[in-house]
Homo-oligomer: A and B are copies of this chain.
Amino acid sequence: MSGPGEPRPGGAAGARPTVLVLDAAPGEPAPRLGALTGRARVLHAPYGTDTDALRAQLGEADVLLVWDFLSDAVRAAWPGPGPRPRWVHTASAGVDRLMFPELIDSDTVLTNARGVFDGPIAEYVAALVLAMAKDLPRTLALQASREWRHRESQRIAGTRACVVGSGPIGHAIAAQLAALGIVTALVGRRPRAGVHGPADLDRLLARADWVVCAAPLTEETRAMFDARRFGLMQPGARFVNVGRGPLVVEDDLVAALHQRWIAGAALDVFEHEPLKPDSALWTAPGLLVSPHMSGDTVGWRDELGRQFVELFGRWEDGRPLTNVVDKDRGYVPGN
C-alpha cells in the first residue's frame, strides 16, 4: 500500500484497489457493485461499525464509498497522517458531513452524486408548490371527514419564485418552475449569467411567492433562513427547504408560521433526522413535513450505484474524475 503523498492511479498499478463501502442501515439496499468484480477488492464497514474498527479499515482502503450518506462516522474515524483513502465518494449531493479539516486539508479527492437527484427533486418541489397553491392538504383533510367544501385556489402561472442554491439541483428546480409559468430567479454564491449573487437575495425574497432553498450547507449558508429573512417575506409567501436542515433556523420558521409572517412552508430536511415525534414542526400551522425523500424516486439507489461504478472506471483508467468537490467551498463548482 502506497503512502498518502504518492500518486496511486487505480488499477493501472497492478494490484486491485480496495474499495471500502460504508454500509447504510439494515434494510436499506446495498450498492450493486457487481461490475467491479475482478477490478476491485470490495470490503464493507457494516452500519454501526465502531470508530476504531472503521479507522483501521480506512487505513487499508484506496477508495471509500460513503453509501450511508447520513453518517458522521467518517469524520470520527478518519485516520491521522498515515495511509487513508485517496478518493472518497459520497452517495449524496450534499457533502457537509465530510467537510472536516483533516479531509479538507488532505489530498484525498472527494466526489459526490451530482446529477442523480436534480430531476427528482425538481419534480418534488413542483409537487409541493402545486399542492400548496391548490390547497390539497385541506382537500385531503376535508375528504377524511366527508365534507364537501368548495374553495378557491391559487394560480401559479405568473407568480414569482426565488430559488436559493445555483448548483444543478437549484438549476433543475428553477427550470421546472419556469416550465409551470412561474417567474423564477436563481440565487447563488456569485452572480453570473442567469444567477443572482447574495447581494440580491433579500430583495428577491421580499417579492417572492415561493422561496425554495436548495443550497449546500456551508459555514456561509448555515442558518441563513432565520427570523430576519422570514420577516422580509410576503404574508402570502411559502417557503420550501430541500437542501439541508441547518440552513433553516427551525424555531424561527415555526414562529413565523404561528405569527402568519408567511402563509406556509414545506420541509423535507431537518436539523435532526429522523424528526422526533415530539418536534413542534409536525404541527406548525401550514407546514408540510416529509421525511427527506425529495430526491428518492424508484431506482435511486441503483442509479447511485451505477454512478459510482462509472466514476470508478475513470479512476482505474487514470482519467480525471467528474463531480469533484471543491473542498474549500463545500460543493462541486459548476456553471
Contact = CB atoms under 8 A, between A and B. Distances in A.
A155 to B, nearest CB: 4
Interface in A162-194: 176, 179-181
Interface of A: 119-120, 123-124, 126-127, 130-131, 133-134, 136-137, 139-143, 146-157, 176, 179-181, 273-275, 277, 279, 282, 288-293, 296-300
Given A123-B155, A150-B291, A153-B298, 17 more contacts: A119-B157, A126-B130, A127-B130, A127-B131, A127-B134, A127-B136, A130-B131, A131-B131, A137-B140, A139-B291, A140-B141, A140-B288, A143-B290, A152-B297, A155-B297, A155-B298, A176-B180
B179 A143 contact: no
Query: Which of A127, A143, A179, A273 has the most chain B CB atoms closer than 10 A to its own CB?
Result: A127
A146 B181 CA distance: 34
A154 B290 contact: no
Nearest to A300: B152
Contacts of A293: 139, 150-153
A274 B180 contact: no
A32 to B, nearest CB: 16
Quickly give the copy total for this chain. 2
A148 B274 contact: yes
A157 B151 CA distance: 30
B131 A136 contact: yes
A130 to B, nearest CB: 4
B155 A291 contact: no
Contact of A297 (B123, B141, B153): B153
Contact of A130 (B130, B139, B155, B290): B130
Contact of A152 (B130, B149, B277, B296): B296
B277 A153 contact: no
Nearest to A134: B127
A124 B146 contact: no
Nearest to A176: B180
A201 to B, nearest CB: 27
Query: Which of A292, A293, A300 has the most chain B CB atoms closer than 10 A to its own CB?
Result: A293
A286 B181 CA distance: 29
Please give me the 4 A-B residue pairs with the lowest Cβ-Cβ distance, nearest first.
A127-B130, A148-B274, A179-B179, A127-B134
B136 A136 contact: yes
A124 B24 CA distance: 38
Contacts of A291: 139, 142, 148-151
A66 to B, nearest CB: 18
Nearest to A268: B139
A249 B305 CA distance: 45
